[in-house]
Structure formats: C-alpha cells, structure tokens
C-alpha cells in the first residue's frame, strides 16, 4: 500500500517504512517517499555499499536536510555516521555516496 502524500490535520499515521514501495534512482540507490506536511517532502534513502547519488543534487530555491540512521554517508570527503543531521540551505548542491551502505531520513523544503 502506498502511503498518502500528506498527513491530514488531526491524523496520526504510523508507517512501516520497509513496506513502502521504493524507486531505484540509480545503481544501489533506493528512495521511498513518505507522507509529509504541507511544503515538506519526506523520504528515506538507502544506498548500498559503494553506491553514489546518480547526479549532482542541486537546491536552488529551498533547502534539504537528512538524518543518518545507520551506516555512513559521505559528502565530498566528510563522512557522516549514525545520529548525524546534515542541512543544506538554498543555493547548495551535493552528491552523497556510501562505502558501507546507509539509511537516511530526509526532508525537502518546498515553501
């Protein structure tokens, strides 16, 4: 079952993230879209060991943030392990990769 795009006012919505269908964006890169709040797209990304985001991820107008749950995500030469929160403001770009494999929860701010 695909979750709704947004959580409605007054609604509590528990979701088994692993039951949400994923989309393969590139070799070893899987994204699952989760319900968010207005103006916020919420997702979980899994990168297999040795995987890299398929192209440069550009944030021209609004920002993005993610929280590393397990594994390690590398931005440039800087590794980010479990418990790390990384935020990108407008006019930023990045191309994450992982040598160990990683799961991160993320948020794109659209408004």
Token pair 């990304």: residue:
45
70 belongs to a structural domain: yes
Residue-level length of the chain:
111
4 belongs to a structural domain: no
105 belongs to a structural domain: yes
Q: Which domain holds residue 43?
A: 31-109
23 belongs to a structural domain: no
13 belongs to a structural domain: no
The string of pLDDT tens digits covering residues 48-103 is: 999 999 998 888 888 899 999 999 999 999 999 999 999 999 999 999 999 999 99
pLDDT at 111 over 80: no
What is the total count of domains within the chain? 1
Token pair 């990683």: residue:
102
Query: How many angstroms separate the CA atoms of 84 and 109, rounded?
Result: 19
Task: State the pLDDT at residue 110.
Answer: 78
57 belongs to a structural domain: yes
95 belongs to a structural domain: yes
7 belongs to a structural domain: no
Q: What's the sign of the alpha-carbon dihedral 29, 30, 34, 39?
A: positive
CATH at residue 89: 2.60.120.10
């Amino acid at each position: 079952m695909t979750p709704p795009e947004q959580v409605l006012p007054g609604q509590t919505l528990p979701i088994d993230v692993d039951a949400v269908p994923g989309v393969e964006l590139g070799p070893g890169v899987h994204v699952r879209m989760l319900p968010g709040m207005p103006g916020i797209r919420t997702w979980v990304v899994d990168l297999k060991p040795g995987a890299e985001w398929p192209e440069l991820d550009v944030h021209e107008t609004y920002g993005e943030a993610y929280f590393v749950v397990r594994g390690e995500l590398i931005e440039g030469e800087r590794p980010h392990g479990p418990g790390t929160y990384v935020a990108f403001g407008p006019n930023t770009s990045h191309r994450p990769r992982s040598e160990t494999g990683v799961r991160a929860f993320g948020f794109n701010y659209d408004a």
